[in-house]
Amino acid sequence: MGFTIGGIRDLRSGSRRRGRASEAVTTVAEYTGLWGWDVVPGARASRGGRVTCSCGVAACPSPGAHPLSFAPPVKAGSTLDEAAAAWAEVPGAAVLLPTGRSFDALEVSEAAGRHALARLERMGVPLGPVALTPHGRALFFVAPGAAAELPQLLYRMGWDDARLDLRGLGHGDHITAPPSDFAGLGPMRWLLPPALDTAGRPPEARLLLGTLAYVCHRAAAG
């Protein structure tokens, strides 16, 4: 993959000395080189008197939460030098992860996500990374294809008629990656960070979905 976990730690230590630009490059290199994910440069938002997006569109429908149309992705397996060259063209860009390739995501409220994570860990269910947004959402990384299969999976589990605060993110969607800012609201965080045995092979959605649906249903009923 080009470098090791120890190498990433050394890069992070150096990045703190070199500033935010180097920290972003190190983050991109970690995602591409260590976890094997594609990375896409994204727009940034600022919130003053009104929300504005760095894409320059006055009425941007997703300020600070979409890819930059002119910037190519940084492919999985890219080296630190390749990440640095790519980010030099888009200084200050947010780091986005495209879903539908290495993983999809199941999104629920943060409260439901924390409750579900505790239950899943007690049950010994294999888990992938879990990210938190600054506005109270949790994103469970699962095997690609889950978003397209979600209605059928819920039907098979008997949850198709329930009103659940649960949705899938798949092909064509993007996740703002920690620690990038999401839509000017604050940084993304890891609730369960990626690991070598989970980043490249996230679990099948069916292993998590029953618990996630149950917790979401309980939250709605409560």
The single residue listed with the structure tokens 């239950």 is: 119
* CB within 8 Å of 186: residues ≥ 6 apart: 134
The whole-number pLDDT of residue 143 equals 97
Q: Is pLDDT above 80 for 61?
A: yes
Higher pLDDT, 107 or 10: 107
Q: Is pLDDT above 60 for 85?
A: yes
Residues 157, 86 contacting (CB under 8 angstroms)? no
Provide the residue range defining the domain that includes 221.
99-222
The whole-number pLDDT of residue 21 equals 63
Q: Is pLDDT above 90 for 91?
A: no
Question: Residue 182 has which token pair?
Answer: 């999401």
* CB within 8 Å of 81: residues ≥ 6 apart: none
For residue 59, is it within any domain?
Answer: no
For residue 49, is it within any domain?
Answer: no
* Prediction pTM value: 0.89
The whole-number pLDDT of residue 20 equals 57
For residue 76, is it within any domain?
Answer: no
Higher pLDDT, 147 or 2: 147
For residue 65, is it within any domain?
Answer: no
The whole-number pLDDT of residue 10 equals 44
- Mean pLDDT confidence for 100-108: 97
Higher pLDDT, 132 or 24: 132
The whole-number pLDDT of residue 39 equals 97
Residues 43, 64 contacting (CB under 8 angstroms)? yes
Q: Out of 2-6, 169-173, 190-194, which region has the weakest mean confidence (pLDDT)?
A: 2-6
pLDDT digits (tens, 9 = 90+) for 63-79: 999 999 999 999 999 98
Q: What angle do CA 70, 71, 72 make, to 5 degrees?
A: 120
- Kindly report the number of other CB atoms within 10 A of residue 95's CB atom: 24
Parallel, antiparallel, or unpaired: how do β-strands 130-132 and 167-169 relate? unpaired
For residue 55, is it within any domain?
Answer: no
For residue 152, is it within any domain?
Answer: yes
Q: Is the dihedral of CA 122, 123, 125, 131 positive or negative?
A: negative
The whole-number pLDDT of residue 220 equals 87
Compute the mean pLDDT over every residue in the chain, rounded to the nearest whole number.
Answer: 89
For residue 176, is it within any domain?
Answer: yes
For residue 134, is it within any domain?
Answer: yes
Residues 146, 106 contacting (CB under 8 angstroms)? yes
Higher pLDDT, 28 or 21: 28
Strand partners, 140: 106, 130
Strand partners, 192: 130
Under the banding of pLDDT at 50, 70 and 90, the label for residue 50 is confident
Residues 159, 217 contacting (CB under 8 angstroms)? yes
| Structural domains of the chain, count | 1
